[in-house]
Structure 1
Amino acid sequence: MSKFEDIKLLRVNYLRGPNIWTYRSVLETWLDLGKLEDFPSNKLPGCNDRLVAMLPALTEHHCGVGERGGFLQRLTEGTWCGHVLEHVVIELLNLAGMPTGFGQTRSTSQHGLYRMVFRARDEQVARTALEHGHRLLMAAINDEPFDVPAAVEKIREQVDDSYFGPSTAAIVAAATDRRIPHIRLNDGNLVQLGHGARQRRIWTAETDRTSAIAENIACDKDLTKTLLKSCGVPVPEGQLVKSPAEAWEAAQDIGLPVVVKPSDGNHGRGVVLDLRTQADVEAAYTLAEQHGSEVIVEQYIRGEEHRLLVVGGKVVAAARGETAWVTGDGRLTVNELIDAQINSDPRRGDNEDFPLARLKAAEDGAILSDLQRQGLMPASVPGAGRKVLIQRNGNVAIDCTDHVHPEVDHVVSLAARVVGLDIAGVDLVCEDISKPLAAQGGALVEVNAGPGLLMHLKPAEGTPRPVGRSIVDHLFAEHETGRIPIVGVAGSRDTATIARLVAWLIHLSGRHVGLACREGLWLGSRRVERGDCVRWEAGQRVLMNREVTAAVFENTPELILRDGLAYDRCQVGMVTDMDGVEALAHYDLREPEQMTKVLRTQIDVVLGDGAGVLNAADARVAELAELCDGEVVFYAAEDNAAAAAAIAEHREKGGRAVLVRNDRIVFATGLTKTIGPSVSAACSHARLGAHALVAAVAAAWAFGISPELIAAGIETYSPEA
C-alpha cells in the first residue's frame, strides 16, 4: 500500500479559559484527514500493533468505553485518526510528566475535517506534544521508524522551559484544590492567586507577605546569627574574615575543626566542613570567596544537616541529610565510582523533577576539597575496600517531620520570626532531631528565604508533605477563595449596554468595579482603554488590578469560541439571546441550535451560591436554567406567552423574576412583588431600550443590589459617564 500523506493541521488555537469543551484551558486543532477519512484504524494493516508497541501505556486509556483497555477496543473496532491522534498526544504528555486525561475529537460539517482538543496547562508544551504526536502517528500509519524517547525528552524540555517549577506547581495545585483561581504574571514563577483586591502573589516559595528587609537579613549570615543569638537561639560561634591568613587566625580562636563558607551564599555553594589544618582552611577561604561577598569562619557542629520548613510561624516539614560515600575497588576512578555507586540511584537527576541531585566532583569545590584532604582527586583510583567521603551532609531529602522534638520546633519557629520571614527554610545541624538541641550541642546554621520545596514534596525516603497546601492556607483563611464577585453578560443583544449599566449599579453599592466590554475597559470611573475590549487579555487586566472589588464582562459567542472566558467561575452569569450564528461559520456553526452549546458556557461557570440570569422571552435561553449550579433569575421585557408561562412556573417554585407590568418594572419573588421604576421614563433618561434596562436590573438584583438602590442608580446613570 502506498504511503498516506500527513494529516493536515489546519488551525491550532489555545483556549485559555472555560470554553465549549471544558472548564479548563485546552489546545484545539482542526484536522484534515485527507484520504485517511476512508481508513479508520481497523483498515490500516499493522498500524494498531505498531502504535501500541511505541506507546504501551495506551492500554490504560479508558476512552468512551469507561474501563481499562477501552481505547484499544476502539482501535480494534475502528476509529478515525483524529481520535487516535488525541490519545497519542495525551500519552506523550503523560510520559513527559504532565499527565492529562481530557480530550475530545468531533467531526465537522465538512467531509474529513475534525476538531480535536486536549487539556493543555501550557500552550507551548501542548504545541510541542501535538507536533511530536502528529509525527508519531504518521510513522505508525506508514510503518516508519520513530524515536519515542527522543520525542518525550523534547516535550519534557519544553515543560522545564515553559511550565512552573515544582515548588510553584505544588502551590498552584493546592490553590486549585481549594477552588482559588490563579493567573501567571510572567514566564517564570510569579503567580497571582485570587482576583482583584482579594489576590495574593507568590514567587516560588516567597509571597507578598515576605519582607524585603527579612530577605536581606537572611542573606547576611553573620547578621542573622547575631539576631538569633540575641534571642537565645543556639548558633555556632563565627567570625567574618577578609583573607586566608585571617581565616586561619579565626579558626584557631574558635577552635578546630571549623567551617568556612560565604556570608551571603546559597544552596550550600562554597561551604566546606570539618576543616582541621591551616592548608585546608586557607584553601576553603579561596573557594568561599568565589561564592559570596564575604567569608565566615565558624564552629563546626557535629551531626547531620536538617532543613525545616516554617510557614506562617509553624514547622510544617523537616528533612534530614546524609553523608555520601563510595567504596574503592582498585580499578575505577573516583568519578567512575560516583557514577556507579551514587549517580546510578534513579532518584538522582539533573533537574528539579528528581529529589536528589547528581554529584559531579570536578564541578563542586566542596567535594574537591574533601577529596584533596583524603589525598585524592576525581581521577584517582582508590584501593579496593577503601571508603571515600564524597559529600558531607548533602542530599537533604530524607523526611523526618514526625520526629521533630517540640523544643526544636519552638526554636526553629522562633528563628523564622526573629528574621521576619513568613516562609523560611531553617538549616540546623544535630545528631538527633528528636532530642533538644542544647543537650546534644546542636545549632541553627542558616535561615533561608524562598526555600525549595522539592525535598518535602518528593523526599528520597519517607512521607511526602503537603507543603503547597500549607502555604495556600497561610495566605488564605479557611473560608476565603480569593474571589471577587464577577458578572458575565453573554449574547449579542444589548450586551455592552447591559454590562455598562450593571457596572454602574454595582459601583453605587460601594465597590470599585472593573469593566471590559466592546466600548472599552474601565477601572473604577476611569476608562483606561477605548475600543473593543471583549478579549481574554483585557479581562485578565481587570482581574489583575489590586483595586478592583467587583468585575463585569461582556462576552460574545466569538470570544468563547476564540479564547474562552477570562474567568473560571462567576457570581452572576447572564445570557440574553441565541442570535448571531450567521457570523460564526468560521467556527463551523451554521444552525441556530448550535448556539446553545456555546452560550451555555456562561451558565456552566456560575458558582453554587451565585445566580444565572436568563431571558425568559427566548425559549432556548430559558432552557439553560437546568444547567445552572446556582439560583436562576428570569427576566422578560416582553409580555409574550412563552415568557409568561416560564416565569409563572418559576415563581410557583419560589423563584425570582424581573418583568414589566403596566410600564413598571416588577421584582417578583415567588408570589410576592415589589414595584420598581417606570420603564418608559427610565429608558428615556438613560437612553437605552427596554430589553437592556430590564436585563441590567435583573443582573443587579441577582448580584444582591436592592430594588431601591437600583431605582436610584437608573435615575443617575448617564451613558457618557
Structure 2
Amino acid sequence: MASERPTPTGPPAPDLRIVESRVYRGGNIWSYQPAIHLVVDLGVLEGYPTDTLEGFTEGLLAALPGLENHTCSTGMKGGFVQRMLDGTWLGHVAEHVALQLQQEAGHDQRRGKTRMVKGSPGLYNVIYGYSDENVGLAAGRLAVRLVNHLVQPEEGFDVAEELDLFLRRAQRLAFGPSTAAILEEAVSRDIPYIRLNSGSLVQLGQGVHAQRIRATMTSRTGALAVDIAGDKDLTTRLLASAGLPVPKQETVRTADGAAAAARRIGYPCVVKPLDGNHGRGVCLDLQSEEEVRESFVVAEDESRRGYVVVESYITGRDYRCLIVGGRMQAIAERVPAHVTGDGEHTVAELVELTNADPRRGVGHEKVLTKITVDDAAIALVKEQGYAMDEFPLHGEMVKLAMTGNMSTGGISIDRTFEAHPDNVEIAEEAARMVGLDVAGIDFICPDIAQPVRETGGAICEVNAAPGFRMHTHPTVGEPQFIAKPVVDLLFPPGAPSRVPIIAVTGTNGKTTTSRMIAHIVKGTGRKVGMTSTDGIVIDERLVVKADASGPRSARMVLQNPRVEFAVMEVARGGILREGLGYDRNDVAVVTNVAPDHLGMRGIDTVEQLAEVKAVVVEAVPRDGSAVLNADDPLVRKMRRRCSGSVVWFSLEPAGTRIRDFIEDHCRRGGRAVVLDSTDKGDMIVIRHGRRSMQLAWTHLLPATFGGTAMFNVANAMAAAGAAFASGAGLHEIRQGLRTFTTSYYLSPGRMNQINVHNVDVFVDYAHNAAGLQVLGEFVDRYAASKAGTTDLGRISRIGMVATAGDRRDEDLVELGAVAARFFDVVVVREDERLRGRRPGEAAALIESGARAEMAKEGTRCRQVEEVLREDDAVRHCMARANPGDIVVLCVDSHARVFAELEAMTHTAQAGTHSDLVGDPDLDPAALQQEAQATGDEAAAELT
C-alpha cells in the first residue's frame, strides 16, 4: 500500500476500474495457494483514502456487516474497520469486499493482499483467494462496482438486489452439499481434486490413482446398477425376489391404465414417475379414480420415458437409510415441508416466518431449503381445512408438501442409532440387490426402531446418487460424517492418491533435463507423463504438439489415468499467467537463471525473473527436495525458499569456494551431485552425507559428446539429483544417463547431430545470449577435438541464429554479439511468428550486434547475412559449408528443419523432397498439416 497521501487532482469520482484480471490455479508469485489477481486503477481516487470520503465506511458496513470481523494486518477482529477509519486506499477495500462477498456465498476465504504496482501511482495489485474461480472473479467485479457506488451512487444500482443476484449465481456454480462434503473430507486427507466441468463432476487424486465422483456417484458405481435403481418397477421386482418388503406395484402408460391398476391394487394408492427423482411428480394417498387420473398427468410430466408407477400406499414415517460400501452409515427421518400454528399468524405468514430461518436458502445454497408455495401446496392446505389467509389452531401442523424431500422444504431428524438391526439388514440387502456402492433406501414404516416385518412397512425406493444434506446437516439430532466412508471406498487407508511430480525450470536446459529425468524414470518401469515446450508426452507418446510448458498442460498430465509419474517443464510465462496448475511438486529443479524474457509482464530484471522461477521451489513440501545449481548465485539464494531439503549440483572443481560450500552441506547430512576430475576424465559423483557414489564418466554419456558439451553435463547432473531425490536407485540413474542420447527421437530440437555430405550439423534451440554462449563454447571444444582429423585446413563454423521478437532490443543485439564471437559466418533468420515486430526488424538488431562485435579486434566472425525464412536460411547455411565444416542451426521448427536436412542427405539436389525416407515425423505434407492444426491459438491455449 502507498505510504504517503498524494494530492487530490479533482473531486472524488467513481474511477476505480479493473485493468487486468488473472486466475492463478496453483502456487504463484503472490501466494502458495490458488488466487485471483486484479490490477486496478484508482484514477482520481488515488488522492482519496477512506477517511476522506464522508459516510463511506458506514455505508460499506451497512451493505456488508461481515466486514467487521476482518482482522486485516492488525490480527484482531475489527482491524480492517480501524484501517478504514484511519484511512486506507480503495484498492485495499476492494480486496476485503471481494473476500466478504465470497464469505456471503459460503466460501470461507480470508487470504488477500494489495500492493502498489511499482512505478505506477494509482495502479494496485489486488490478490485474494477463491474456492470457485467464476465466483471469485464475479466477487471482484461486484466489489469494484460497490466501492464506486459508495463514492458516487450509480443509477439503477441496488445493493441488496445485486448481492442477491451474486448469491444466486454463486449457488448455481457451487458444488452441491453432497459433493462439498466429499471434497472437504478429501482435502482433510491431502487428496487433491480437479473440477472437470461446471457441474459436480470431480476427479479425486492424480494420474493412475485418480477416482471420479459426480455428486454421490463414484467411479465404482456401476452403470447397470444406476439403470436398475432408475427403473422403479424393476427395482421392486428385484427386491421382492429377495424376500424384502415392498409395496404392490404396476407400471402403466395411460390414465386408463393407471385407473385400472389402482382398482387392482386397492385404495389408497400412490402415483409416481417410473424414473423421477427428488420427489417430483409423486402423488400420495389417492382415494379415488378421479384423483388417480389427475395425478397421472402430474407424474407423466416428470417421467423421462413416459412410464408411470401405481403402487399401494404405505402409511407411516418416511425414513432415508444411507448405505455406503454395503454398510449402513446413516438414517434420517424426513418430515414434509410444514408450518405449526400459533393462533396468531395465518398460514402464509407462518411460511414467511419459517423461510426467515437463516438456515434456509434457495435450492441447495444452505442446509435447509425455503418452502415454495405453489398451486399444489395451496391445494394441500385446502385439503387440511385451511386457506392461506386463515389462522391454524395453536400447535396444529399444516403440511405444504406430501413428500419429505429436503429440496421441497422438508426437514430431517437423525435416527441413525435408533434403527432396529433387522431394518438395517433389510436396507443393506436392498443396496446389494441393486448393486449400488452408495445407495439411499427409502423406508416407509411406523417406527424404524421396530422390525418392519412385524409392524408393517416397505421399501418404496432405492436411489442412486442419494443426497447427503439430510445426514450431514439434520434439522434435529447429531450430524453424521458420511463422507468419510465414501472416501474410504475410493481411497482405502494407506492407498496413494498422488503421483510423484518433478518440476523443472530455468532459463536454459530445462527441456533436456526434463527429458533426461523422464528417460531415467521410464527405465524404472513406470509410465511417465511429461510436459515440455514441444508438447505433452504420455508414456513416450507425443499426444499434443504445442508449447506445453504451462499449467493447463500440467493438469492434462495429472488427469491422464495412465500416468504413474509426472515430469513438468515449468516456464516463466505459465507461472505469471496462471501459476503452477497444481498444489505442490515433490522435487523442484532449477537449472540456471539468465537474462531472458525481460521487459515482459512486469519482469524487468534478472532478480525478478529469479523470483518467478523460485515458485517451483516454494511448492516443495517438507518431505520433498529442491535440486539447485550451486554455480548460479541467484539459484543458490532459492535455498531459503525451500521447505524441504536441498540437493546441490555443481561443475566447479574441488578446492573452489563453491565446492567447499557443498562439502560443508554434505558433512551435515546433505546431498549433492558434483564433478570430480581425474587422469581418466571427469566423474559425476553423488554425495550423501559422508558417502560418495560414483555415477558415470562424463565422456561416456552420449548426450555430452565425449564430455565436450558441458551444459549437457550440468543437465545430466541435475537429472541425476532429481531422480536420486525421488527415490531412483543408482543403477537406474546410471543406466538412464548412459542410454539417453540427443537423437532426434529422444530429444528433438536439442543438440541433434546429423552428418550431411560430411558436414557436421547441430540442430539446437538456443534462443538467448546465455544459451548461445554455452553452445558456442561447445563448438570451440568440439572443433578442437576434430583438429587434425581433416585435410581441408581450418574448419569453418557457420551459425544460424534468431530469437523471438518479443525480446528487448538489447537482448537481440547481445545475441548477435555472442554469435559473432564463435562463428565465422552468422546467418540471421526470423521466427515465423514475429510477436509484434515488423518483418526484418528483429533480424536487423541481431545483425547490428554481430557487426559491432566484428569491429573488435580478434572477433572470429568474417561475414553476417540475413536470410529471414527458416527453410531458406537452412539451405543457405548448407550451401556455404564445405566437407569437414561445422554448421549450427538454432531453429524455430525443428521438424521442418530436419525434414530439410533429411532431404539433402537422401537426394542429389538439395531442397527437394522427392526421395524422403518416409518417416512420418519428417514428412513435409504432414508437417504442414500439423502447423495448421497447432497454430498460435493452440499454443497460447496450452502454454
Distance 1:42 1:651, change over 3 A: same
Once the two structures are superposed, residues 594-617 of structure 1 have per-residue CA deviations (whole angstroms, 9 ceiling, x without a partner) of 345323321222233332211122
Q: Indicate conservation of the 8 Å contact 1:108/1:588, yes or no.
A: no
Q: Indicate conservation of the 8 Å contact 1:222/1:263, yes or no.
A: yes
Does residue 263 of the first structure (1) align with residue 240 of the second (2)? no
Q: Unaligned regions of 5+ residues in structure 2, if any?
A: 1-9, 405-409, 747-943
Does residue 147 of the first structure (1) align with residue 166 of the second (2)? no
Distance 1:35 1:177 in 2: 46
Which one-letter code corresponds to 2:219 in the other structure? Answer: D
Does residue 562 of the first structure (1) align with residue 552 of the second (2)? no
Match for residue 118 of structure 1 among 117, 120, 128: 128
Per the TM alignment, residue 353 of structure 1 is displaced from its structure 2 partner at its CA by 1.4
Where does residue 403 of structure 1 map in the other structure?
Answer: 418
Distance 1:540 1:387, change over 3 A: closer
Where does residue 327 of structure 2 map in the other structure?
Answer: 314
Which one-letter code corresponds to 1:588 in the other structure? Answer: G
The farther-off stretch of 140-149 and 229-238 is 140-149
Match for residue 678 of structure 1 among 681, 694, 697: 697
Per the TM alignment, residue 480 of structure 1 is displaced from its structure 2 partner at its CA by 3.0
Per the TM alignment, residue 62 of structure 1 is displaced from its structure 2 partner at its CA by 0.6
Distance 1:231 1:134 in 2: 62
Which one-letter code corresponds to 1:13 in the other structure? Answer: R
Distance 2:343 2:90 in 1: 58
TM-score, length basis structure 2: 0.71
Where does residue 237 of structure 2 map in the other structure?
Answer: 226
Which one-letter code corresponds to 2:717 in the other structure? Answer: V
Distance 1:150 1:468, change over 3 A: farther
Distance 2:119 2:495 in 1: 48
Match for residue 254 of structure 1 among 247, 265, 275: 265
Match for residue 69 of structure 2 among 60, 70, 84: 60
Per the TM alignment, residue 308 of structure 1 is displaced from its structure 2 partner at its CA by 1.8
Distance 1:594 1:492 in 2: 13
Per the TM alignment, residue 318 of structure 1 is displaced from its structure 2 partner at its CA by 2.1
- SS of residue matched to 1:392: coil
Q: Percent identity at matched positions? A: 37
Distance 2:485 2:312 in 1: 34
Does residue 548 of the first structure (1) align with residue 563 of the second (2)? yes
Where does residue 458 of structure 2 map in the other structure?
Answer: 443
Where does residue 24 of structure 2 map in the other structure?
Answer: 15
| Cα RMSD, aligned residues only | 2.9
Distance 1:448 1:390, change over 3 A: same
Distance 1:326 1:674 in 2: 78
Which one has a bigger Cα radius of gyration? 2
Where does residue 822 of structure 2 map in the other structure?
Answer: none
Match for residue 159 of structure 1 among 165, 170, 179: 170
Per the TM alignment, residue 574 of structure 1 is displaced from its structure 2 partner at its CA by 1.3
Q: Indicate conservation of the 8 Å contact 2:12/2:44, yes or no.
A: no
Q: Indicate conservation of the 8 Å contact 1:572/1:611, yes or no.
A: yes
Distance 1:644 1:491 in 2: 22
Which one-letter code corresponds to 1:634 in the other structure? Answer: W
Distance 1:604 1:404, change over 3 A: farther
Q: Indicate conservation of the 8 Å contact 1:319/1:396, yes or no.
A: no
Distance 1:541 1:326 in 2: 51
Structure number with the bigger relative contact order (C-alpha 8 A, sep ≥ 6) is 1
Distance 1:383 1:234 in 2: 37
Q: Indicate conservation of the 8 Å contact 1:96/1:153, yes or no.
A: no
Once the two structures are superposed, residues 359-413 of structure 1 have per-residue CA deviations (whole angstroms, 9 ceiling, x without a partner) of 445454xx5775676688x789799889755333422522222323333222212
- SS of residue matched to 1:482: coil
Where does residue 88 of structure 1 map in the other structure?
Answer: 97
Match for residue 553 of structure 2 among 519, 535, 538: 538
Where does residue 352 of structure 1 map in the other structure?
Answer: 364
Per the TM alignment, residue 448 of structure 1 is displaced from its structure 2 partner at its CA by 0.6
Where does residue 422 of structure 1 map in the other structure?
Answer: 437
Q: Indicate conservation of the 8 Å contact 1:347/1:460, yes or no.
A: no
The farther-off stretch of 637-646 and 80-89 is 637-646
Distance 1:572 1:111 in 2: 37
Which one-letter code corresponds to 2:414 in the other structure? Answer: D
Distance 1:320 1:47, change over 3 A: same
Distance 1:78 1:646, change over 3 A: farther
Per the TM alignment, residue 129 of structure 1 is displaced from its structure 2 partner at its CA by 1.2
Q: Indicate conservation of the 8 Å contact 2:15/2:45, yes or no.
A: no
Q: Indicate conservation of the 8 Å contact 1:52/1:59, yes or no.
A: yes
Where does residue 707 of structure 1 map in the other structure?
Answer: 730
Where does residue 608 of structure 1 map in the other structure?
Answer: 622
Where does residue 301 of structure 1 map in the other structure?
Answer: 314
The farther-off stretch of 310-319 and 678-687 is 678-687
TM-score, length basis structure 1: 0.92
1:613-652 to structure 2, matched below 5 A, reads 613-639=627-653, 641-652=656-667
Distance 2:354 2:400 in 1: 10
Which one-letter code corresponds to 1:254 in the other structure? Answer: I
Where does residue 211 of structure 1 map in the other structure?
Answer: 222
- SS of residue matched to 1:570: coil
Q: Indicate conservation of the 8 Å contact 2:698/2:706, yes or no.
A: no
Distance 1:44 1:505, change over 3 A: same
- SS of residue matched to 1:477: coil
Distance 1:331 1:15 in 2: 55
Distance 1:329 1:413 in 2: 41
Distance 1:71 1:374, change over 3 A: closer
- SS of residue matched to 1:427: strand
Distance 1:100 1:591, change over 3 A: same
Once the two structures are superposed, residues 548-599 of structure 1 have per-residue CA deviations (whole angstroms, 9 ceiling, x without a partner) of 111111112332121100221222111222333x624333333443345323
Per the TM alignment, residue 84 of structure 1 is displaced from its structure 2 partner at its CA by 1.8
Per the TM alignment, residue 28 of structure 1 is displaced from its structure 2 partner at its CA by 0.5
Where does residue 716 of structure 1 map in the other structure?
Answer: 739
Distance 2:254 2:132 in 1: 49
Distance 2:373 2:63 in 1: 37
Distance 2:445 2:326 in 1: 22
When the two structures are aligned, how many residues end up with a matched partner?
Answer: 716
Where does residue 693 of structure 1 map in the other structure?
Answer: 716
Does residue 665 of the first structure (1) align with residue 684 of the second (2)? yes
Which one-letter code corresponds to 2:648 in the other structure? Answer: F
Which one-letter code corresponds to 1:351 in the other structure? Answer: G
Distance 1:36 1:350, change over 3 A: closer
Distance 1:501 1:317, change over 3 A: same
Distance 2:610 2:295 in 1: 71
Distance 1:33 1:331, change over 3 A: closer
Per the TM alignment, residue 94 of structure 1 is displaced from its structure 2 partner at its CA by 1.5
Where does residue 137 of structure 1 map in the other structure?
Answer: 147
Q: Indicate conservation of the 8 Å contact 2:346/2:392, yes or no.
A: no
Q: Indicate conservation of the 8 Å contact 1:603/1:627, yes or no.
A: yes
- SS of residue matched to 1:586: coil
Which one-letter code corresponds to 1:116 in the other structure? Answer: V
Distance 2:134 2:536 in 1: 29
Distance 1:303 1:442 in 2: 7
